């Protein structure tokens, strides 16, 4: 993940790849309103780190990867101390069962 890629960009891009509206994503998540999704994608709000596994599941992304991206964005020093070296990679889509 380059420094310019943010969790909000990952969420927006994946939502668009799946052809979901912000309203549809918020309904699938059941934890936020469509207004919140809009605020996240515009950078005015962010998902709590503990909600990222649910977001990843709905968007078909690797939860660990998305969580690492969220941790890096929220607290880069903690991320680097925990995982070392480079920033995390962009989350990869996972196969659904």
Domain edges within the chain: 7-83
**21 Ramachandran zone, left/alpha/beta (phi>0; psi -120 to 50):** beta
What mean pLDDT is predicted for residues 62-89? 93
| Burial (CB count <10 Å: 0-12, 13-18, 19+), residue 78 | exposed
> pLDDT per residue over 3-16, tens digit each?
557 999 999 999 99
Instruction: Read off the DSSP letter of residue 61.
Output: B
What CA–CA distance (Å, rounded) separates 14 from 88?
A: 17
36 CA to centre of own chain: 14
Is it true that domain 7-83 has CATH number 3.20.20.70? no
Q: Return mean pLDDT, the chain.
A: 91
Whether this prediction's pTM lies above 0.75 is answered by yes
What mean pLDDT is predicted for residues 8-26? 96
């Amino acid at each position: 993940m380059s420094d310019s890629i943010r969790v909000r960009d990952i969420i927006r891009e994946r939502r668009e790849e799946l052809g979901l509206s912000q309203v549809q994503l918020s309904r699938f998540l059941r934890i936020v309103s469509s207004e919140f999704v809009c605020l996240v994608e515009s950078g005015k709000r962010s998902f709590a780190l503990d909600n990222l596994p649910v977001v990843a599941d709905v968007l078909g992304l690797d939860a660990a990867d998305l969580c690492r991206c969220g941790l890096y964005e929220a607290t880069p020093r903690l991320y680097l101390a925990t995982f070392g070296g480079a920033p995390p990679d962009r989350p990869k889509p996972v196969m659904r069962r």
